[in-house]
């Protein structure tokens, strides 16, 4: 079982995504477990304040270190192992490759930042890594946490059931997925490529690889710099470039 512990100020934000579609089924089957922890429960004082003004002045408020630290203490008591991730715009970019790394941990703790940021001591002493889902700023780390739970969960064996393997999906090999079609074979004069109707699996696989390379070249050529391309792939790429 893959366990996610999410530290957040807004646990109610997660209810709808977790109670829908494949995530709901995966939880019901016991393939994943998602535990929501309200950081405010670990704040001190009558009003359980979780933020304060930054030392040295400046705009906005900063999430305090104490409630985050004490929430982690409650979770990671002696003998409990987990990989602790802070969701922040400053983190390493989230990718399919990183999702594949994270699924290798049996337990992930996701800390959702908020306000103008988190006390730097959280970064220095309490986490294993920082992750960002893109070069933009959100209200908090809740949406990034949902993205990570979704992307990592679908890599857990059994979550996708009898659905196709994830090995040919976009970004798995640093290539975009080839075009996909289903019935009917013709609609409004729009036809499915003939090769897909032949039943010749070798030709179909060749077509899919070529179209995957074509789509990546046209839409995300930056991915090709790190893709593992064979000699045949390189020949196809040259031919595609000549086609324009």
**Domains of the chain, residue spans:** 2-153, 166-243
**From CA 219, how far away is CA 176, in angstroms rounded?**
9
Which residues of the chain fall short of a pLDDT of 50? none
Taking domain 2-153, whether its CATH number is 3.90.550.10 is answered by no
For residue 230, with 0-12 CB atoms within 10 Å meaning exposed, 13-18 middle and 19 or more buried, which class applies?
exposed
What per-residue confidence (pLDDT) applies to 170?
Answer: 58
Architecture of domain 166-243: Orthogonal Bundle (1.10)
Q: At what angle do helices 21-28 and 142-153 cross, to 10 degrees?
A: 70
State how far Cα 60 lies from the chain centre. 28
- Compute the half-sphere exposure of residue 133: CA atoms within 13 Å on the CB side of its CA: 17
Q: From residue 163, how far is each of 154, 159, 160, 167, 207 by CA, in Å?
A: 11, 9, 5, 12, 22
């Amino acid at each position: 079982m893959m366990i996610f512990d999410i530290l957040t100020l807004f646990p109610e934000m997660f209810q709808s995504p977790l109670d829908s579609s494949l995530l709901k089924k995966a939880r019901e089957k016991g393939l994943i477990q998602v535990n929501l922890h309200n950081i405010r429960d670990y704040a001190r004082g009558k009003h359980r304040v979780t933020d304060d003004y930054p030392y040295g002045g400046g705009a906005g408020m900063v999430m305090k270190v104490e409630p985050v630290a004490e929430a982690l203490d409650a979770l990671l008591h002696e003998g409990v192992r987990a990989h602790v991730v802070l969701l922040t715009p400053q983190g390493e970019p989230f990718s399919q490759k990183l999702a594949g790394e994270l699924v290798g941990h049996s337990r992930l703790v996701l800390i959702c930042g908020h306000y103008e940021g988190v006390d730097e001591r959280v970064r220095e002493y309490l986490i294993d890594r920082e992750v960002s889902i893109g070069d933009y700023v959100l209200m908090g780390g809740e949406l990034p946490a949902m993205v990570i739970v979704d992307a990592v969960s679908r890599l857990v064996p059994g979550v996708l059931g009898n659905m196709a393997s994830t090995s040919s999906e976009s970004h798995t090999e640093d290539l975009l997925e080839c075009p996909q079609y289903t019935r009917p074979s013709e609609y409004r004069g729009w036809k499915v490529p003939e090769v897909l109707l032949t039943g010749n699996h070798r030709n179909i696989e060749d077509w899919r690889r070529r179209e995957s390379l074509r789509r990546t070249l046209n839409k995300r050529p930056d991915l090709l710099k790190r893709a593992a391309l064979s000699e045949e792939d390189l020949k196809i790429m040259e031919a595609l470039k000549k086609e324009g």
